[in-house]
Amino acid sequence: MTALDLNQQVRDAHERNDYDGLIALIPYARLLGVECLRMGEDMVFRLPANKDLIGNPTLPAIHGGVIAGFMEQAGLLHLLMFMGIPHMPKIIDFSIDYLRAGHYRDTYAQCQVWRQGRRVANVAITAWQSRQSEPIATARAHFKVDKP
Amino acid sequence: MSETAIVEKATRFLSALRHCQVLGMQVHAGNAQGLTLCLPYSQQIVGNPETGVIHGGAITTLMDTTCGISTVCVLPEFEICPTLDLRIDYMHPAEPLKDVFGFAECYRVTENVIFTRGYAYQDDPQQPIAHVVGTFMRMGKNARAGAPVTRDIQGGGA
């Protein structure tokens, strides 16, 4: 058994309204370098450009799987932040449409919860680089949000 | 194309993808029927530090890569094929400390599009942790943006 109580960390983050510590606890989020930027009432997630995230070496472009992983992580954090869920949601399914190449530069993501039921939440995630109106990918995911 | 040629081509393809090298991904098997890649378990891809379960994003990267490279199983010459879309359904979480394998096959190839499907598993391919479908765009073997890497993957001569 590990001493780390993740659900307690989630509750602490809610209380402090500061999620950097929580992100730092998730190894995969650290590997990608996910950051969150509060914009008034909204939250925008940032994936800083990093050579280790490149998939297509010729363009060069960020790996499509990395963009998907970043968007999944954004959706998960968004649910935690805005829905006050006291534990880590679990992914049920994830579907992504790639609209433009994700070039080797910073990528942003924003989320919209379309429906949160007692057991399942439906989240839409949009990712962009130069302009929010020109997304590089859109995704939607279902998360299981009831008690583990 | 022989099994050895497919595995060699897939290995060259994979070695050109920096992020896949960071994750330590390797070609496990390949033939005309499909391709299997391995994503070794490591601490850096953990999504839940309490349980040690791998993050869905790492599984997505494994499956996007496996589906994308599985195109070498059916195409006579290497082509850059960007992902149009990808869908993953999780059957159950991955078990911690165990490697994950991704299998993918191209089940329909048209002039412009390649339809792929596959699954991720750990011990038993009959008990997948996730099912995947992905659609890829064919850019043609002479696509400009892909020219240098195409040469690398073809083995210099093409």
What CATH number corresponds to the domain at position B10?
3.10.129.10
Least confident of A1-10, A44-53, A65-74, B110-119: A1-10
Task: Name the residue with tokens 């390797």.
Answer: B26
Number of domains, chain A = 1
Specify if B153 maps to a domain.
no
How far apart are the C-alpha atoms of A94 and A98, rounded to whole Å?
Answer: 13
If we measure between CA atoms, which residue out of A81, A83, A71 comes closest to residue A38? A81
All residues at 6 or more sequence positions from B9 whose CB lies less than 8 Å from its CB, including other chains: B1, B72, B78, B153, B154
How many structural domains is chain B composed of?
A: 1
> CA-to-CA distance for A82 and A100, rounded, in angstroms?
29
B94: Cβ–Cβ under 8 A, 6 or more apart, which residues? B53, B54, B59, B100, B120, B122, B129
More confident residue, B141 or B134: B134
Convert the pLDDT of each residue in A11-39 to its tens digit. Answer: 787 788 788 888 999 999 999 999 988 87
Interface of A with B (CB under 8 A): 2, 4-6, 25-32, 51-59, 62-66, 68-70, 72-73, 88, 90-98, 101
Question: Which whole-number Å values give the CA distances from A43 to A38, A109, B49, B72, B145, in the listed order?
Answer: 5, 9, 24, 41, 35
Q: How far is A101 from B145, CA to CA, in rounded Å?
A: 12
Enter the pTM of the model: 0.92
Q: State how far residue A77 is from chain B, nearest Cα, in angstroms.
A: 12
Per CB-CB distance under 8 Å, the chain B contacts of A93 are 87-90
Give B-chain residues touching A88 at CB under 8 angstroms: 48, 50
Local structure of residue B97 (DSSP, 8 states): T
Residue B71 inside a domain? The answer is yes
The answer to whether A107 and A58 are in contact (CB under 8 A) is: no
Taking 70 as the threshold, does the pLDDT of residue B124 lie above it?
A: yes
User: What residues make up the domain containing B82?
Assistant: 3-137
Which residues in chain A touch residue B57, judged by CB atoms under 8 angstroms apart? Answer: 28, 32, 65-66, 68-70, 72-73
Query: Bigger pLDDT: B143 or B97?
Result: B97
In which domain, by residue range, is A118 found? Answer: 3-144
Contact B107, B132 (CB under 8 A): no
| DSSP-derived pairing of the beta strands A61-62 and A90-98 | unpaired
Among B41, B44, B83, the residue to mutate for chain A (most A Cβ within 10 A)? B83
**Residue B83 forms beta bridges with which residues?**
B136
Dihedral sign of CA atoms B4, B7, B9, B15 in order = negative
User: Which residues, in sequence order, are bridge partners of residue B60?
Assistant: none
Q: What is the pLDDT of residues A36-48, one digit of tens each?
A: 888 777 889 999 9
B40 cis-preceded (ω within 30 degrees of 0): no
Of A74, A27, A20, nearest to A47 by C-alpha is: A74
Residue with tokens 């579907």: A95
**Among candidates A5, A25, A52 on the partner chain, residue whose Cβ is nearest the Cβ of B19:** A52
Question: Are A8 and A14 spatial neighbours (Cβ–Cβ below 8 Å)?
Answer: no
**Cβ B57–A58 below 8 Å, yes or no?**
no
Domain CATH for A40? 3.10.129.10
Residue of B nearest to A9 (CA): B50
Q: Note whether B60 contacts A101, CB cutoff 8 Å.
A: no
Cα radius of gyration rounded to whole Å, chain B:
15
CB B149 to CB A69 under 8 A? no
- Residue B35 falls inside a structural domain: yes
B16 and chain A in contact, CB less than 8 A: yes
Query: pLDDT for B72-112, tens place per residue?
Result: 999 988 888 999 999 999 999 999 999 999 999 999 999 99
